[in-house]
Amino acid sequence: TVCQRVLYHYRRRGGQMTEVLFPPRRLDDLKMYWNWLGWFAAQPDKTEYKGYYEWAVAWYWKVFYLFWCQASEAGAMAKLKPEFLKRKKHLDSILPDILRCPHVPGAEKARAVLFCAAPGLTYTLAHARGKLHGSKTD
């Protein structure tokens, strides 16, 4: 699909998303996902795109949270926090859509609500839980 090809090129340009370090250019990816979400939101009546908006909402939440955790783990959050907070306004604006989204499990919806209210606390709790269970940011 088109989305997979664009994502492939972004990954080739910026390295794999699972790298230990978090380069600031990855925030460009959040902009790309936000643009996709906006584009799909502008296509509500076109049947060939039916359901893509919900997919884009779920994907934006997943990637935003993943990048927040990766930047925090890499120790880059202090430098990147202002840029993240600009984009968090986008996340806050689609929280009702995340809560209605059929592609986001219930536990993730609860995490999204907590994250929008207190991102630092959410990360700290997830980090502690991950350490307890052997992973870093689950």
Say whether pTM exceeds 0.85.
Answer: no
Q: Is the pLDDT of residue 38 over 80?
A: yes
CB 54 within 8 A of CB 42: no
Q: Which residue has the tokens 């907070």?
A: 85
The whole-chain average pLDDT of the chain stands at 81
Confidence of residue 60 (pLDDT cuts 50, 70, 90): very high
Q: Which domain holds residue 127?
A: 2-133
Burial readout 87-116 (b: 16 or more C-beta within 10 A, e: otherwise):
bbebbeebbebbeebeebeeebbebbeebb
CB 80 within 8 A of CB 27: yes
Alpha carbons 132 and 105: distance in angstroms, whole number: 22
In a domain, 64, yes or no: yes
In a domain, 138, yes or no: no
Number of domains in the chain: 1
In a domain, 120, yes or no: yes
Task: Please tell me the predicted confidence (pLDDT) of residue 3.
Answer: 52
In a domain, 51, yes or no: yes
Task: Please tell me the predicted confidence (pLDDT) of residue 5.
Answer: 53
Could you give the percent of the chain with pLDDT greater than 70?
81
Over residues 82-100, the mean pLDDT reads 94
- Residues 4-17: pLDDT tens digits? 555 554 444 444 44
Over residues 116-138, the mean pLDDT reads 77
In a domain, 119, yes or no: yes
Task: Please tell me the predicted confidence (pLDDT) of residue 22.
Answer: 77
In a domain, 109, yes or no: yes
Confidence of residue 125 (pLDDT cuts 50, 70, 90): confident
Q: Is the pLDDT of residue 88 over 60?
A: yes
